[in-house]
Structure 1
């Protein structure tokens, strides 16, 4: 749809939108993004960050909402293991319909290494698989954490799983990748499996404690009993990689590839659960 001629967001329109967002208890930092999305619908444009309308909207909210609330990082940050190093995968905040380029998410990857990755079809496709997992997860997890149709226990599990997954990524990106990333990845996987059960079959905190405990095999099997066609089944062979919960205080060295596989299981589990509950799946749009 073409943009309506001479349309620009007026102060009156912005005040009205801000009041609507205030009544819905939308956090200050989120309001300019929601306003930009509403403006794209109103004016008939495809919104993206960086345009004149975006600048005016953000300038207005900077003056009329909590100072500094508009400045925050990417929607989500995942990780890629390539050339013996872990590299951040930045998933940007976007509004409206925009095209994302997988190569642009590797902002810290030197051009020479990126060129080598792009030329290696197998390695690049493996990266794209992780990249789309990060996209679906990043845009879907907050939706589930705030979903009132999910039990309080389920929301807590999603919140805890997200915290553990973010911790995993942070530990991988230390100057010397921290072996504790494996523990965080394990906990993230456990939280996401239980969140799936809480959302799909009404798992309660008591049932989780009595029937599952910290047993990943039991949690996964219960998930597959609920949905035998779930993609979660592919993580089955990788679960033995994780240490037992009772061993979490033991100093155990892990190779970089083991840490990569542990993160991969946690990321894929989180993404698969998010996809199953939100319907998001960027893979369907890849060309």
Structure 2
């Protein structure tokens, strides 16, 4: 019995560090960049950071629910670019922005539902399904544009989804806040949301308990598709165009935000609040490294090391439950 205590303390400490990582990490990078760059705490930079991070946060919220099920979606970055291209083309054809946004939202939900259906009904790993959809979406974005960005000329659209304020907040931040509250309420306050934890922990046991596992998985992928579509709208407004490969690091950043937030890649555990903190950490990291002119390749190295750290902490922390 005297030899068991150290074994408990190890996983327990790892679990504590894992749970504190998004908060301590966010505080750490803020302090570091505040001391390293005179521009970081500039009000204009802060506003740009808030609006530019909205795309990542929306996708990270959806990725949280997907990973909670023990699944993954590698197509999000490519689909955001494709939907932004389609949005720009619809408006270029003369349609108003409300119709274009509605069409893109519907298409995003459809793509998400298709990912879920192929994964569940086809009994194909979501890794393979979404990898294929990523390739298709990337190819279509280039085919539709000829590798040339499509400028969005609708001033009302650009102002509304990037520069405008509502209730004193930038519209992208307000959209993120409303989405966060809605997703949190869904996971914590609805039967379907609570069932996702059971499905992720043990799909067979959940099925035997009467949970419609297949429907829940397709539903989550459809939600993911809707959030990806909204992210595409904000991305197009921020860039003022629809362009193929406009968000090359989005998939990596979204998965990193969820992992930093302490979610288990095997499903059954995730926290939307910690994902929010993880996404904020990644957003601040991206912003700060750009201000310091860090090479783009080195930026990937830094984020990759953070992901590995979070995964190692998760595996060590799992010993506390074994």
TM-score tier by shorter-chain length is under 0.3
Provide TM-score, normalisation by structure 2. 0.23
Please give the TM-score of this superposition, normalised by the length of structure 1.
Answer: 0.24
Name which structure has the greater RCO, CA cutoff 8 Å, separation 6+.
2
Structure (1 or 2) with the greater helix fraction: 2
